[in-house]
Amino acid sequence: MDYFLTEEQKMIQELTEQISREKIRPIRAELDEAEEFPWEIMRYLAQADLFGLYIPEQYGGMGGGIFENCLAVEKLGEACIGIATSFAASGLGAYPILLFGSEEMKQKYLPQIASGKRLAAFGLTEPGAGSDVSGIRTVAVRDGDHYILNGSKQWITNGGESEIYSVLAITDRIKGPRGGSFFVVETGDPGFSFGKKEKKLGIRASTTRELIFQDCRIPADRLIAKEGMGFIIAMKTFDKSRPGIAALGVGLAQGALDVAVEYARKRVQFNKPIISFQAIQHKLADMATKTEASRALLYSIARYMDSDPREVSKVAAMTKVFSGDVAMEVATSAVQVLGGYGYMKDYPVEKMMRDAKILQIYEGTNEIQRNIIGQELNKEYGRLKESFI
């Protein structure tokens, strides 16, 4: 389906599809098994100028929006969402700077991120603070022209691979949620180090590592916006990034569907290809319908968000929760269609099933997304004067 794409948007799809086909698919199983960060693929993506799709031209980017970025992430996700996550996570780390950074900060960091010369990462989650962001314990104390950070961050995507980190720390504990602030921390800053590399169920080509701050001293001009803006920056960043998670889900679902249909056409049982059996046809039909519905929702919401509406939290949560659930369901169904072969590493669907689970967890669990949607509905209907009862 065309979805009324411009020629430039079609080119983004074609380019990322080519990279997926020629560079990612041949090595995705190897990288997954070795739990190896895909630096070679990152270099190909940098050479193709894909890291700057959503970054304005004055900062070295392509001047596109959320929609263009989602098109690229989706196509990469068809091949491997571990590798696609490594790519997309740099955007997550860049958004606090792009949305709230000073002009000097944008000029310093965004061209480096847009070129792919330096990856970015986002540091929020801690051992005691995941969905409950108010549980953050990492602190930043002003010391003259510097801030000193102490604490740790857990499960940070691209940790140890990125060189630019947007990190949330508490600057005023008394103010509670209004006492958090965001800072840019760079690899090599004194007192900044990395903990263990996590061993994961899926997305194993994506590095997940602990960030450790022990009297980490950074210049005061690395504060993003101003003190107390931290939680606002975090929520606005997630609003922008959640369609990217949805794009990973759409891509994974499409990739799993492709394998399942191809297998069903070739696999013969009872002297017939199994796609001729109604039970398999119905399963594939449901997989295809939900994948297409997920894509349609993502595309419409991404375009809507690029129109710069005032409120986007509800729709961003909707596309994330729906696409994540669809990806998990379609990947599981693909394993079922392949039967015993689907359970083996010889076929990619067992990896897709393992990978899909994270889409329901990271960047806000799907339970949290439903909370957001419900809260926004309560606000919307509370403002209505019309009664429906």
Same domain, 218 and 251: no
CATH code for the domain of 16: 1.10.540.10
Predicted confidence (pLDDT) per residue in 327-356, tens digit: 999 999 999 999 999 999 999 999 999 999
Work out how many domains the chain is built from and give that number.
Answer: 3
Beta bridge partners of 121: 165
Across 59-80, average pLDDT: 98
Question: Nearest Cα to 85, choosing from 199, 248, 233?
Answer: 248
Tell me the DSSP string of 199-222.
P-SS-TTS-EEEEEEEEEEEEGGG
pLDDT confidence of residue 176? 80
Same domain, 125 and 158: yes
In the predicted model, is pLDDT for residue 359 greater than 90? yes
Number of alpha helices (DSSP H) and beta strands (DSSP E) in the chain: 11, 10
CATH code for the domain of 288: 1.20.140.10
CA dist., res. 186 & res. 119, Å (int): 11
Q: Which of 126, 161, 210, 363 is catalytic?
A: 363
Structural domain includes residue 191: yes
CATH code for the domain of 172: 2.40.110.10
160 CB neighbour count, 10 Å cutoff? 19
Percent of the chain past pLDDT 90, that is, above it, reads 94
Q: CA 174, 176, 182 angle in degrees (round to 5)?
A: 105
Lookup: tokens for 283: 């399963």
Predicted confidence (pLDDT) per residue in 276-291, tens digit: 999 999 999 999 999 9
- For 168-204, give one letter per residue: b (16+ CB within 10 A) or e: bbbbeeeeeeebbbbbbbebebeebeeeeebebebbb
Across 42-58, average pLDDT: 98
Q: Is 363 a catalytic residue?
A: yes
Domain boundary at 207, 229, 251, which?
229
Rounded to the nearest integer, the mean pLDDT of the chain is: 97
Q: Which residues contact 375 (CB under 8 A, 6 or more apart)?
A: none
Decide: 253 and 326 in contact? Cβ < 8 Å. yes
In the predicted model, is pLDDT for residue 72 greater than 90? yes
Structural domain includes residue 263: yes
State the chain's maximal CA–CA distance in angstroms: 79
CA dist., res. 75 & res. 14, Å (int): 9
Across 189-215, average pLDDT: 98
Predicted confidence (pLDDT) per residue in 16-32, tens digit: 999 999 999 999 999 99
Across 46-58, average pLDDT: 98
Structural domain includes residue 193: yes
CA dist., res. 130 & res. 362, Å (int): 9
Predicted confidence (pLDDT) per residue in 116-171, tens digit: 999 999 999 999 888 887 789 999 999 999 999 999 999 999 999 999 999 999 99
Same domain, 224 and 236: no
pTM of the model: 0.97
Structural domain includes residue 387: no
